[in-house]
Amino acid sequence: MGLREVNLFRAGTTLLGFSGERVQPLGFIALPVSFSDDNGYAMNMVSFAVIRAKSGYNTILGRTTLNSFGMVISMPHLYAKFPTSSGIVTIRGDVRQATRCFQIAAQLVADQLDPRKSQPVVPQEGVINVTLGGRLF
């Protein structure tokens, strides 16, 4: 995108990460975000917090942004829909790309786990093994 740190608005704030860690943003920037399909088009200015982090995602759109478009999200279907003056816009996700992003995120979390802190699984009294479809659970 050709953005540089000088393009960022500085703010003395700390963000709370997904796993509870504190993250100091490099800054904030407002950028135009647009969505469209054959039924319509919508564009809003969105304020992004820019952070330095390993992630499988390029950006994360929060509730404020989704609400500004009037979006309704269906995670199981990987769909987002929102109204425009010319019709309902439908955005379809890509199952392969969503799976890949999830795998990267899961691997990043696994890489941060300290194996010395994990506890071995100890069989508990009164636990019954259940067989489902020929597999023991």
| Token duo for residue 136 | 């023991």
For residue 137, pLDDT over 50 is answered with no
Residue 96 covered by a domain: yes
| 50 pLDDT above the threshold of 60 | yes
- Structural domain contains residue 82: yes
pLDDT band at residue 53 under the 50/70/90 scheme: confident
**Rounded CA separation 107/121 (Å):** 21
Instruction: Give domain status of residue 72, yes or no.
Output: yes
Q: Residues 6 or more apart from 42 whose CB is under 8 A from it? A: 34, 35, 36, 69, 82, 84, 89
Higher pLDDT, 135 or 117: 117
In-domain check, residue 64: yes
- In one letter, which amino acid is 126? G
69 burial class (0-12, 13-18, 19+ CB within 10 angstroms)? buried
* 87 domain residue, yes or no: yes
| Total residues found in the chain within this entry | 137
Q: How many domains does the chain divide into?
A: 1
In a domain, 75, yes or no: yes
Between residues 106 and 88, the one the model is more confident about: 88
Band of residue 126 on the pLDDT scale cut at 50, 70, 90:
low
> What mean pLDDT value characterizes the chain?
83
For the four alpha carbons of 85, 87, 41 and 62, in that order, the dihedral sign comes to positive
Tell me, what's the pLDDT at 119? 58
In a domain, 117, yes or no: no
pLDDT at 136 over 60: no
d(CA 75, CA 78): 5
Evaluate whether residue 9 is within a structural domain: yes
Structural domain boundaries, residue 70? 5-112
